[in-house]
Structure 1
Amino acid sequence: MYQKIISNINELSQFKLICRKKSELLNIWKSCKSKEIEEIWLCLLNLLVENISPDKLIYSEENSTLLFREENNRQFLLTCINFISIYLQYLSNNEGKKSINLDENFRKLFYKLIEIQFMLSDKEVRISFGKCLLNICELKLIENEFSDYIKVNVLLFLLWKSCSTDGKISDINKLKKYKDFCKIIKWGISDKTTNSFYILCSYSLSLPKFYENCDGKIFLSYVWSLNENIAYHLFNKFVNSTVVLPYDNINHYSKIIYSTWKNCSDDMRSVLETQLEYLVHFSLKCPIKIAARFRCVLDIFNTNKGDKSINQLIFKIYDPVIWRNLMSPNWKIRFNATCIFQLIFPVVDPCIKDINYLEEMDKAYNALIELSEDKNTCVRQATAKCICYILNELWEIIHDDKRIILLDILINKSLKDKYNENVRTEAVLGLYEIAKNKMINKIFIKIFDKIKNLINDKSISVRKNFVNLVLELNKNLNNNFSNQIDFNELIKRITKDYITYNVQSCIKKLSYMKHGNNEKTKNKEIREFLKLSTNLITYNMWECDIKEQAKKCINFLNEYPVLMICISKFSTNLKLINRYKLSSVLFEITNVKLKEEDSCILLSENDKNILNDENIKKKYIRYSSLLICIANLLKAKNEEEMELCSSEEIQDFLKKKFLEKYFLDSINTMMQPFYFKVLKYINLNHDNYLIIHKYNHDQLNSLHTIKNKNICKKCIIPLFYKWGLLKSYICKHINFLNLSIQSIFYQMRNGKDTLENFPNNKNDVLLRNGTANIEKHISKDIGKNNIYIENIDNKGELYHKNIKENMNKENNNNKDINAYNETANLKNKINENELDEVEKSDINKVNIKNRENINDTELNVYINNEKELNALLFLSLVVENKKYHNILFKYFPDIVYNFIYKFNFFLLHTFEKISMSEFILPPHFLSPYNEKQNITITQFVICDKKKIKEYMKLYISFFFLFNSICFENKLSYEWDELIQNTLKSINLISSIKFKNEVEIITRKITTIEYIDKEVMEERRIWKFYINIIIYFITYYIDMIEYIIAMRKLPLEELDFNDFVKNLFLFYKCYEIVNENEKETKKIYYKIWDRICSFLMFILNFDYFEKKTYFKLMIINTFFIFTYEFTPKKQIEKILKKCFVVIKEKDTFLNFLENFKNNNDVTSYMKESQIKNIENILDIILTNDKSKK
């Protein structure tokens, strides 16, 4: 039978077939004699050597892998391993508990397989052979060199499997099972198996799945304790990994080394103690953050000081080094030593006699006293923490005299440290921990009077932690310590901090595009202090019935309105149901009071002039504050409360107490914002407030009036978000915005001055098949979005018509005066039920009629101005709040990108048109003696200032936010092209050339030159035209700041000096054509202020830190256009900021001193202008010299 095996193993297909017939093969093994089996193994060995020869393998240097050239050779190896596995199964089934001695040929074959699988980079081969190893390991082999070799390779396989990505917990469990095999390893001998074991063990120490597993810890600590050589390898890896390990995982390392020391033999203990001494050295000498990691590793020894052997170890490893390091000249070493001293105090030999023990204790106390007077604040901070810890942990064994000394250090030194608030904070935190200790917290009855003034500490951190301490004392000692506090001072502090909190919460950082529009600054520490301090003030306030609570609230509100608002917002010691009951009573009181004769005016008028009456003003403050308190009380403060709000019981309660009529009465009155603030936190939906819902709907659709923007932002949009209606409104407006940008793009495409290579957005949601069908797509949406089409043969006439319309808007208090053609009649026909009919009939008729006399390329599409502005304003309000971003960017990413993409090209196109040729101001504007000259004005698609502002604001917000979201979520949108367009736009603005530049700059304005009506009309057109350019450039500065902050632009290619200069030159042109001095100054201040903030941005940006000449050039240009009517305080303020930011002080001072001698500058400036700036410079230079 064995001949059948020998004949079949020569052919791979036959070899595989015989292995598949497992039962038949097992029967063959039973019939074979030992010599026949030996012959099989010899034959298989020869075939294996033939199939795995070097010429049949290939090595990849790139991946450092060795693989088979041909798959057949690999399959032969796998089949060979499978064949051996079946043989091992035969041995297991038939030999039972007998000792097995495998023949020499088998051993040679197995040695060869071990060598091959080590050499190859084939996971399948290794796993198959590993199973084979585990099978042979289960057999009762006679102990010899081969069996030892097998056991070592089992360990190597399990280590490799555990460390691989496919490794499982069961593999680590098996390692623990076979850990005794480690004793067989020949430590200290450099061979392949031993070196592999060192490497794999060291690698496993860096894998969280290994060292976090309990069996993994046991295996590593067992191996570590076996021999000095493996201990050396593991310790090196241990030290290197501790430096980079996530801080939370250091605890696992701590347990490993503790278990190793605890369970090692006496021979290895000295090795482990030497390694622990190294760790102590690292915890003292390393940088503070890294030293803290090593302290964390050693913490497990310090927290088990009750064990005598550990006490001896601590003294042995720390005593030789701790004392001299506590007095080290290097403050960082003193700091590290103090942190360790806290945990090992008092570092006394546990075997010492009583008399010497007291002397050693005195040594430790003296060290603490010296450290409390250390010059370095960080060391004093660590000392304060150390003293508190020692008092808390060792109170019972510390002598009374020593307790008094340590408490005195805390109260009179640490808590009164004038130089660093962190020392005081650390001391208060330590006292808080002592207050939780029921054995010793009664000491506060004696010392509280000495520390109670900390409630008014300048540091918010100290105040916060002290209030927490008082609350803890009230809780644990049943003694109202808050009665000993000066509440008047506390109320002043809370009021001040609450105002600070609100101011910081509303700060706009530089400009909205870099940090998100109106992004709120989170000040967690102030918030935490306000929460704790309001809980302290109201500690006993709610221990009465609901009417008494309401009375107390109103009394508080009358005396301290800000405090009561703060209590309602931050206090957490009143349960939700009780808050709802209290808010309903307060709401009822408010409604009754506002209907009284002397207060009803607040619910009947919306004229702020009524607040000139002091009595009405007081009532306004009182009842508006009361409504704010009610809103705060209704607001759920956590997820548990949010779930409770939706309960049926709460819903019924709200329906009864907060009726719609109360809110309807407040509409268009002084109290509306406050009633609607309450409405925002009532957990009822729009079905309960049908009329309110209709009113809100109308308000959102009339945002273009700009009168209700604040109420929409603060109340209506949040309410619709809560009701789940916001998405539909966003959908409506963003689709209209998409249509608007398509229209703008279409007009731009069909203008005379277009870009040479017109862009095509692959993500265009309307134009998926290219831009050729834009007219078709826009026509389809006319009915849905109320679009008006105008067909003007002469684009010049159209542009001048639009300019006149916009000038008329400005001159008639922004009243909307538009001339519509016959398609305006569609406006009255379109409604939700007739969209399809209008789309198919009236619209097409109009289009066909209009097309008879014009070409397709001359069709201009214009959007309803009100709806367009409404969409811009609504989306701007939505994008300001982060919680709405998910709706906006998750559901409409393509539309958002389409808008960004097209508006980006629109801006490039606009600036290209402006810079295409020299900017020429009509010569007769410069002098009445110059001949009149007709100059063509550039045509702009958008020429309304409101639209420019809102389009730019929305574009920049979308660009910033969507760009960030795309990078975070790896969304595939093209940004490089848009960034390059921004760079081109900046360069285009900087490259604009002005004809007669010197005349424009030096031109003196008189008011009697323009009498001719035609000239006056022309000037009005030019005034409007230049104003539009100024608006575009001024608002574009926001985009420039954002794109610089992104670090996406090659800044060396930009010339901001010319950019600033050109903006001011446009102002000079505006000054020449505008006869209204008040308007001119208004525009000037707007430009000057914006350039000031841009200048500060440039000076503060790190890229320009060393580019002093570049910065001085911009400042120089800025001075040229700083006129004599600019307030001196503003100029002085800017110069002071420049002086702080520019690090090269001497260079900047030389520039200021030489400014008046700079002929290139002064030649453009008026004498009064020069004197004004020189006076300011003299003041600054004098102040600087006096400081020196």
Structure 2
Amino acid sequence: MYQKIISNINELSQFKLICKKKLELINIWKSCNSKEAEEIWLYLHNLLVEYTCPEKLIYNEENSTLLFKGENDRQFLLTCINFVSIYLLYLSNNERKKKSINLDENFRKLFYKLIEIQFMLSDKEIRISFGKCLLNICELKLVENDFSNYLKINVLLFLLWKSCSTEGKSTDISKLKKYKDFCKIIKWGISDKTTNSFYVLCSYSLSLPKFYENCDGKIFLSYVWSLNENIAYHLFNKFVHSTVVLPFDNINHYSKIIYSTWKNCSDDMKSVIETQLEHLVHFSLKCPIKIAARFRCVLNIFHTNKGDKSINKLIFKIYDPVIWRNLMSPNWKIRFNATCIFQLIFPVVDPCIKDINYLEEMDKAYNALIELSEDKNICVRQATAKCICYILNELWEIIHDDKRIILLNILINKLLKDKYSENVRSEVVLGLCEIAKNKMINKIFLKIFDRIKYLISDKSLNVRKNFVNLVLELNKNLNDNFSNEIDFNELMKRITKDYFTFNVQACIKKLSYMKQENNEKIKSKEIREFLKLSTNLITYTMWKCDIKEQAKKCINFLNEYPVLMICISKFSTNLKLIDRYKLSSVLFEITNVKLKEEDSCILLSENDKNILNDDNLKKKYIRYSSLLICVANLLKAKNEEEIELCSSEEIQDFLKKKFIEKYFLDSINTLIQPFYFKVLKYINLNHDNYLIIHKYSHNQLNSLHIMKNKYICKKCIIPLFYKWGLLRSYVIKNINFLNISIQSIFYQIKNSKDILTNSVNNKNDVLLGNDTINIQENISNDIEKNSIYITNIHKGELDDKNKNKKKYMNEENSNNENINASIEIEGLKNKINEKDSNEVEKIDINKINNENKGNISDTELNIYINNEIELNALLFLSLIVKKKKYHNMLFKCFPDIIYNFIYKFNYFLLYTFESISMNYFFLPPHFLSPYNEKQNITITQFIISDQKKIKEYMKLYISFFFLFNYICLQNKLSYEWDELIQNTLKTINLISSVKFKNEVEIMTRKITRKEYSDKEITDEKKMWKSYINAIIYFIIYYIDKIEYIIAMKKLSLEDLDFNDFIRNFFLFYKCYEIVNEDEKETKKIYFKIWNRICSFLMFILNFDYFEKKTYFKLMIINTFFTFTYEFTPKKQIEKILRKCLIVIKEKDTFQKYLENFKNNNDTVNYMEESQIKNIQNVLDNILLKKDKPKK
């Protein structure tokens, strides 16, 4: 029978077939004698050598892998392993009764060869397959010999490898724990393949979170570590290296491993582990502060268990005398590290010494604390403050009364009065907070509170915040009397001031290109926390009464401190949501009743701010508006739990009864309206409860062009519609109109020669051709993907030019009283409640496309865009784009439309500035002098010339450009930006290259008002004034775009000349000054330009690229001085020059330039004497102040 095996294993296919017939193969093994078996193993060994010779393997240097060249050779090895596995199965079933199994020599040879091959190969399948063999053979009762020991070591190697591989699971780690006793067989200290591999795999497993985080993994590592000095050395090296780079939260696992190793190791290994612990102590003292903290965290498990006698001995052994030397080190960082450790191991006394000596050693520790409290370094004093508080809290019972008093005096009289560091004072108060939580010792505050209550008015925000927290803890753990001992007047002043600071911080632009040097950063999170704790302290007893009494207290508080009451309503968290709703309803009812009283009802009937000139009415306005703000704040949910609670039926019914629509309707178009609508924003009821307000708000959103309701739309109506799920339909409508508007601009560019600036029907309307426009090869085609059309069009929004074509718009022209009739809103409203909003958007876009494409696709159809509706769309989208929470509605749903607008408006600006710079800018000569001959000069007609339109188009374009560019970069969206950025460079060069005819005359022209009585010339001047005004506004807002592009660092700035750019900008102003008769209006434009150039100048001076270009910077400052007129306030000039002195690094060069200002002919030649004198006075004042410290 055995001949059948020998004859079949030659052929791979036959070999696989025989392995599949397991029962038949097992029966063959049963019939074979020992000699026949030996012959099979010998024959198979020879075949294996043949199949695995070096010629049949290939090594990849790049990946460091060794694999088979041919698949047949690999399959033979896998089949061979399977064959051996079946034999082991036969042994386990038939040799159970034997006490021990002695495998024949040829089998051992074959197995040695298999171990060698699988060890060399980089084939996971082979390793895992052979690993199962290893685990099976270890289950047999083998005779103890070298072979069985070798197998056990390889079992460990396999399990370690599998645990460390990507496929390794916790089950493999549990098997390691099971076979951990096999580690005793390893020949430590002998450099062979298996031992070295074991070292490497153990060290590697120490860096794997899935291994050291697992409980069995910790047990295995600590067991191996404790076996021998050699493996302990390898693991310790890896341990130290990994501790430096490990996530801080994972260090705790390392701490448990080394603690378990020390606790469970033999006496022989104890000294080795303790030596390694001494090394860790050295690292925790000598390393940089952040790294030392990591090693301190590793040792922390010993510090927290220091009640154990053996651990107390260990702590003394590894820390004494090294801790005392390092506490007195000349290096403050080492003293700091030592102080942090000293806090945890105090008092570092030998546990074996007698009582008398023990007390002497304790004195040594107390003296060290006293010396550290007087340390010159702030960080060391801060660590000392924390150390003393910790010692008092943890060791109060064993500290003598005298020592307690000394330590408390150090805290109160020294560290709390540290003038040089708020961190030291803050650390003390934090420590006192922890002591206040300790019920065993917190009664000490009854004696010391009078000595520390002044901290409520400390200059440091952190100190005040922590002190308020301390008082709240004392109120909670002792009694309420501590609140009464505080100077509440001082606290209320501080809260009010910090609340204003918080609001100012919230208003600061998040995006700033300027470097924030020499400006202290306000920490809004800390302010918020302080306000929350402080308001909780003030209201600690305020809410301990019924609702009516609470409302009474709120009203009284609001009459005296309105800002403080608003702050309390916003930040206080010690009143439950249901109680807040009840309180807010009572306050709301009181407000409604009071506003209807005879002497206050005017606030609900007038919208004229002049009535606030009456002091009594002004007081009432402040009182009731503040009261409504408080109501809104009380209604606002402060966390997710409260948001869920708001939707409950009980609260919904309560709100419907208390906050009915009538109250809000009465406030419409009155002074008090914004505050009522603020309340409305936080009531969790939908628009079905407020139908008239919904209709009113709808009309307001469609009349933004009036510019009087912008604030109420921004602050109240848009957030309200967003909450109701109705905002999306308005975004669809307005983004579509923007798409049509940009199309109209391109139509006019194409037809610029014969464009009609005024239509017959409406002087304010601009002709639009609805055909698809292609101006240049660079201009993108119309967007088909997202080009949507409005289903319900405003009356007057699209006026049919051709009467024969009105049939296309019959549906649109009906029922136009309700703007954007309710079909669109109601349809979207229902879908939004049922489906994902993004999905709904796509459905509606496609629906609108399909329904309207046939009606508006006629290329011959000419329609008019109403300027009011166009401005309304711009204003609406400008409000939407300012809030991050609305961005998904724009940029996710309409990326193509937005990019289309950015792309086309970019080219429109290029076209506009090209038209300006095409020829000389020639101001009519008779404007410069009445003696010059009159000349008729044709003015380029701008497509957009209205000041409001320029402002809104530019603001929206720059917002879209900045935000959408950022989103594209973040999400790797494929849109072309390089071309648009290069157009910015071209535009800057176009503005810089404008040539002014009679430039010297324009610069030196002295203005005398009312020179002309000729009506024709006056009308001509008005026309030129409008033209130049448009240019100025285009440039003013375009500077924002320039700053952003420069900040992106995507422009080559080598060829840019900002000096000419600024010069030409001011020359346009000079031209405006000449043509404008209104002096007040001229100065207004001048200061607008001057202030914008000031901020642009600071941007350039701050930017890294211009850092070393001193000559370039001085040229720009030259130009700036040339156009800084005598009526410019000196304070403003001084402010900008002081900023220049801070920013410009070449101080000496700049100072010499300022000192020689009068002698600079390039600057002074074009300036008037009064202008020079004004600037020189400012310079003298700056230079004089600068020289004073030197004297």
Tell me the equivalent position of 1:283.
284
**407-416 vs 565-574, which moves further:** 565-574
Tell me the equivalent position of 1:23.
23
SS in 1 for 2:207: coil
**572-581 vs 920-929, which moves further:** 920-929
Q: 1:155 to 1:615 in 2, by over 3 A?
A: same
Tell me the equivalent position of 1:500.
501
Tell me the equivalent position of 1:133.
134
Tell me the equivalent position of 1:683.
684
* Cα distance between partner residues in 1 of 2:109 and 2:903: 71
**1078-1087 vs 983-992, which moves further:** 983-992
Task: Give 1:680 deviation, angstroms.
Answer: 1.1
Q: 1:268 to 1:912 in 2, by over 3 A?
A: farther
Matched, 1:51 2:69: no
1:338–1:382 CA contact under 8 A, matched in 2? yes
* Cα distance between partner residues in 1 of 2:697 and 2:300: 61
2:789–2:848 CA contact under 8 A, matched in 1? no
2:721–2:727 CA contact under 8 A, matched in 1? yes
Letter in structure 2 aligned against 1:1065: L
* Cα distance between partner residues in 1 of 2:88 and 2:933: 111
Letter in structure 2 aligned against 1:957: S
Task: Give 1:748 deviation, angstroms.
Answer: 4.2
SS in 2 for 1:67: strand
**483-492 vs 12-21, which moves further:** 12-21
1:511–1:1038 CA contact under 8 A, matched in 2? no
* Cα distance between partner residues in 2 of 1:172 and 1:1122: 78
Matched, 1:1169 2:1186: no
Report the RMSD for the aligned CA atoms in angstroms: 3.2
Tell me the equivalent position of 2:778.
759
SS in 2 for 1:415: helix
Task: Give 1:1014 deviation, angstroms.
Answer: 4.8
1:745–1:906 CA contact under 8 A, matched in 2? yes
Letter in structure 1 aligned against 2:453: K
Deviations for 1:945-969, whole angstroms, at most 9, x for unmatched residues? 2222222222222333333334444
Choose from 874, 877, 891 the match for 1:875. 877
SS in 2 for 1:165: coil
* Cα distance between partner residues in 2 of 1:846 and 1:408: 86
Q: 1:228 to 1:973 in 2, by over 3 A?
A: farther
Tell me the equivalent position of 2:1030.
1028
Tell me the equivalent position of 1:855.
none
Q: Which runs of 5+ in 1 are unaligned?
A: 769-776, 793-819, 852-858
2:455–2:467 CA contact under 8 A, matched in 1? yes
* Cα distance between partner residues in 2 of 1:112 and 1:586: 89
Tell me the equivalent position of 1:963.
965
* Cα distance between partner residues in 1 of 2:332 and 2:1082: 61
Choose from 980, 999, 1002 the match for 1:1000. 1002
Query: Identity rate of aligned residues, in percent?
Result: 82
SS in 2 for 1:758: coil
Letter in structure 2 aligned against 1:718: P
* Cα distance between partner residues in 2 of 1:317 and 1:761: 75
Task: Give 1:1168 deviation, angstroms.
Answer: 2.1
Task: Give 1:757 deviation, angstroms.
Answer: 5.7
**1081-1090 vs 83-92, which moves further:** 83-92
Deviations for 1:112-169, whole angstroms, at most 9, x for unmatched residues? 3333333333222222222232222222222222222222222222222222222211
What is the TM-score with the length of structure 1 in the denominator? Answer: 0.90
Tell me the equivalent position of 2:1046.
1044
Structure number with the bigger relative contact order (C-alpha 8 A, sep ≥ 6) is 1
* Cα distance between partner residues in 2 of 1:1016 and 1:1154: 43
2:416–2:425 CA contact under 8 A, matched in 1? yes
Q: 1:842 to 1:412 in 2, by over 3 A?
A: closer
Tell me the equivalent position of 1:734.
735
* Cα distance between partner residues in 2 of 1:201 and 1:22: 37
**882-891 vs 280-289, which moves further:** 882-891
2:746–2:775 CA contact under 8 A, matched in 1? no
* Cα distance between partner residues in 2 of 1:1044 and 1:610: 48
Tell me the equivalent position of 1:471.
472
* Cα distance between partner residues in 1 of 2:36 and 2:854: 97
* Cα distance between partner residues in 1 of 2:42 and 2:1144: 85
Letter in structure 1 aligned against 2:422: E
Tell me the equivalent position of 1:1093.
1095
Tell me the equivalent position of 2:569.
568
Matched, 1:315 2:316: yes
Letter in structure 2 aligned against 1:874: F
SS in 1 for 2:66: strand
* Cα distance between partner residues in 2 of 1:43 and 1:842: 85
**379-388 vs 1119-1128, which moves further:** 1119-1128
Matched, 1:3 2:22: no
Tell me the equivalent position of 1:1179.
1181
* Cα distance between partner residues in 2 of 1:750 and 1:179: 88
Aligned counterparts, 1:1137-1148, within 5 A: 1137-1148=1139-1150
**664-673 vs 555-564, which moves further:** 555-564
Q: 1:750 to 1:225 in 2, by over 3 A?
A: farther
Tell me the equivalent position of 1:625.
626
Aligned counterparts, 1:80-99, within 5 A: 80-96=80-96, 98=98, 99=100
**170-179 vs 438-447, which moves further:** 170-179
Q: 1:846 to 1:295 in 2, by over 3 A?
A: closer
Tell me the equivalent position of 1:811.
none
Tell me the equivalent position of 2:101.
100
* Cα distance between partner residues in 2 of 1:779 and 1:303: 71
1:557–1:563 CA contact under 8 A, matched in 2? yes
Task: Give 1:573 deviation, angstroms.
Answer: 1.6
1:1023–1:1073 CA contact under 8 A, matched in 2? yes
Matched, 1:907 2:925: no
1:506–1:521 CA contact under 8 A, matched in 2? no
Task: Give 1:1016 deviation, angstroms.
Answer: 3.9
Aligned residues: 1140
Matched, 1:358 2:376: no
* Cα distance between partner residues in 2 of 1:843 and 1:212: 63
Aligned counterparts, 1:1070-1085, within 5 A: 1070-1085=1072-1087
SS in 1 for 2:58: strand
Letter in structure 1 aligned against 2:650: E
Q: 1:154 to 1:1044 in 2, by over 3 A?
A: farther
Aligned counterparts, 1:682-701, within 5 A: 682-701=683-702
Task: Give 1:640 deviation, angstroms.
Answer: 1.6
Tell me the equivalent position of 1:559.
560
* Cα distance between partner residues in 2 of 1:934 and 1:465: 75
Q: Which runs of 5+ in 2 are unaligned?
A: 755-772, 825-845
Letter in structure 1 aligned against 2:209: P
Tell me the equivalent position of 1:802.
none
Tell me the equivalent position of 2:956.
954
2:612–2:618 CA contact under 8 A, matched in 1? yes
Task: Give 1:747 deviation, angstroms.
Answer: 4.2
Tell me the equivalent position of 1:804.
none
Aligned counterparts, 1:439-588, within 5 A: 439-509=440-510, 523-588=524-589
2:513–2:1099 CA contact under 8 A, matched in 1? no
SS in 1 for 2:542: coil
Task: Give 1:204 deviation, angstroms.
Answer: 1.6
* Cα distance between partner residues in 1 of 2:263 and 2:1085: 80
1:747–1:861 CA contact under 8 A, matched in 2? no
* Cα distance between partner residues in 2 of 1:822 and 1:994: 53
**392-401 vs 920-929, which moves further:** 920-929
Tell me the equivalent position of 2:254.
253
Deviations for 1:1074-1103, whole angstroms, at most 9, x for unmatched residues? 333222222211111111112222333344
Q: 1:195 to 1:919 in 2, by over 3 A?
A: farther
Task: Give 1:430 deviation, angstroms.
Answer: 0.4
Q: 1:274 to 1:941 in 2, by over 3 A?
A: farther
1:514–1:1042 CA contact under 8 A, matched in 2? no
Task: Give 1:284 deviation, angstroms.
Answer: 1.2
SS in 1 for 2:67: strand
* Cα distance between partner residues in 2 of 1:264 and 1:898: 73
Letter in structure 1 aligned against 2:499: Y
Tell me the equivalent position of 1:772.
none
Letter in structure 1 aligned against 2:62: E
Q: 1:180 to 1:892 in 2, by over 3 A?
A: farther
1:505–1:521 CA contact under 8 A, matched in 2? no
Letter in structure 2 aligned against 1:1062: N
Letter in structure 2 aligned against 1:464: K
Task: Give 1:332 deviation, angstroms.
Answer: 1.2
Tell me the equivalent position of 2:828.
none
Tell me the equivalent position of 1:268.
269
Task: Give 1:403 deviation, angstroms.
Answer: 0.4
* Cα distance between partner residues in 2 of 1:295 and 1:746: 72
